[in-house]
C-alpha cells in the first residue's frame, strides 16, 4: 500500500485518480481548496490553499507519490505553474514521486512532432495547453534528484465525454493515441487506471506518456 496525495482531487481527473487509488487499497489524501460535493469513501480530504507551499507540507509528509491534477482555470488560471514550482522544490531530493496531469495539446501527432498545439488547435483551449507545455518543460529542466512523470490524456477527455470504465488503455509514448478511425478518447476512470498503474509499476521515470484507446 502506498500513500498517495492528490492535489486538486475534487476536480474531474483528480477525483477519478483518488477513487482508483483507494479502490486498490492505497492510503489516499486529497488536498483542495473546496470541499468535495461527492466525497469518495476511504479518501482523506484536507482543505488548504494549494498555492501556499507551507500548507501542503504537512499533508504531503511521508507520501510515496504526489499527483498534481490542477486545471489553469478561474482564479487558478495563472497559479498552476507556481504550485508546480513549489512542488518541484519541496520534493527534489526526496523519495516521493511527482506525477503531473497535463493536457493533450503538448502531445505529438507523430513521432518527432509536431505537437497538437502547433496544428489547428482551438483558441479557447490554448491557455490550458500552454500551461501544460510549460509544466512539462519545468519538469524536464528539474534536478535529477526529482522522480517525476507527466501524463497527457487523449484529445477527448472530460466530464462532457465521461465514457465507461473498460479497464484498458493504450500508452502512446509521446504521441497522441488514436483508434482505427482517428478518434482520440479516454474515459476518466480508464485515465485514472493508467496513472495508478504508473505509480505502482513505474515505466516512465522522469518522462511523459500519452493515454487513450
Show the cell assigned to 41.
469513501
pLDDT (0 to 100) of residue 161? 94
* Contacts by 77-82, CB closer than 8 A, 24 or more apart: 77/127, 79/51, 80/131, 80/135, 81/131, 81/134, 81/135, 81/138, 82/51
pLDDT value for 154: 98
- Mean per-residue pLDDT pooled into runs of 10, the chain (213 residues): 96 97 98 91 95 93 97 91 97 98 97 95 94 98 98 97 97 98 98 98 98 98
Per the CB < 8 A criterion, the answer to whether 151 and 112 are in contact is: no
The CATH number of the structural domain formed by 3-212 is 3.40.50.720
Q: Where are the domains of the chain?
A: 3-212
Residue 81 C-alpha from the chain's centroid? 13
pLDDT of residue 34: 85
What's the whole-model pTM score?
A: 0.96
Amino acid at each position: 500500500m502506498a500513500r498517495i496525495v492528490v492535489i486538486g482531487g475534487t476536480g474531474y481527473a483528480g477525483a477519478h485518480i483518488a477513487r482508483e487509488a483507494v479502490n486498490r487499497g492505497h492510503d489516499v489524501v486529497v488536498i483542495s481548496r473546496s470541499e468535495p460535493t461527492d466525497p469518495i469513501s476511504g479518501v482523506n480530504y484536507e482543505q488548504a490553499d494549494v498555492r501556499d507551499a507551507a500548507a501542503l507540507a504537512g499533508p504531503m509528509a511521508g507520501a510515496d507519490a504526489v499527483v498534481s491534477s490542477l486545471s489553469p482555470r478561474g482564479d487558478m488560471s495563472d497559479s498552476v505553474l507556481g504550485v508546480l514550482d513549489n512542488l518541484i522544490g519541496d520534493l527534489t531530493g526526496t523519495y516521493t514521486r511527482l506525477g503531473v496531469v497535463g493536457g493533450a495539446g503538448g502531445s505529438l501527432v507523430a513521432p518527432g512532432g509536431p505537437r497538437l498545439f502547433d496544428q489547428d488547435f482551438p483558441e479557447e483551449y490554448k491557455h490550458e495547453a500552454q500551461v501544460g507545455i510549460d509544466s512539462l518543460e519545468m519538469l524536464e529542466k528539474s534536478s535529477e534528484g526529482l522522480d517525476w512523470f507527466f501524463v497527457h490524456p487523449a484529445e477527448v477527455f472530460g466530464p462532457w465525454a465521461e465514457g465507461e470504465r473498460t479497464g484498458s488503455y493504450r500508452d502512446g509514448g509521446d504521441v497522441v493515441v488514436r483508434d482505427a478511425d482517428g478518434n482520440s478518447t479516454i474515459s476518466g476512470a480508464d485515465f485514472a487506471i493508467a496513472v495508478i498503474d504508473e505509480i505502482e509499476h513505474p515505466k516512465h521515470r522522469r518522462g511523459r506518456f500519452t493515454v487513450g484507446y
